[in-house]
Amino acid sequence: MTVIDSSPRQTTTVTRGDTDEWITALALSALTPGRGVAVLLPSGAQVALFRTGDEELFAVSNIDPFGRAAVMSRGLVGDRGGEPTVASPLLKQVFSLVDGRCLDDPDTTLAVHEVRVIDGVVAVSAQPSGASTQPSGASTQPSGASVRPRSGTETTSP
């Protein structure tokens, strides 16, 4: 799915010890379960944002580390043993959406970004989480959606 939004990009800054910049991506209702969209960050980096079939949100680097192309948002969303995954549309390597590790090559990872929903709008952290080991599931439960937070995510009240 491709979403074209001509409205100006907005950012929200949240302070948590140090400053994190949050990039407004799109309305939660525009994100189809089981599909991904690419989000362009102010730095020029790209993030692949996914909404899984069980209503969780994840964001990982959009660059396929094997094919070196910005295609992860077009990947095949699934799971392995209950862990949400995305398979590269190029060479089909499978990556965990929880921590970014490649399940086919343990030496390769995707950067993971935190995701939050505020008032029905999805925002992505401009900086990757730590060493790609923090979950990046949804952080709040907007009205009209059943977005389940994963442990370790930040919760924000509107």
pLDDT score, position 19: 55
Domains in the chain, please, with CATH? 29-125 (2.102.10.10)
Q: State the average pLDDT over residues 25-29.
A: 97
> Could you give the CA distance from residue 62 to residue 59 in angstroms, rounded to a whole number?
9
Q: Report residue 74 as tokens.
A: 């077009």
At 117, which amino acid appears?
A: V
At 132, which amino acid appears?
A: S
pLDDT score, position 20: 77
Q: Report residue 4 as tokens.
A: 């074209």
pLDDT cut 70: percent of the chain above it? 70
Q: Does 88 score more than 70 pLDDT? A: yes
pLDDT score, position 54: 86
pLDDT score, position 10: 52
pLDDT score, position 58: 98
β-partners of residue 23 are 11, 124
At 72 the three-state DSSP class reads helix
Q: What is the pTM of this model?
A: 0.74
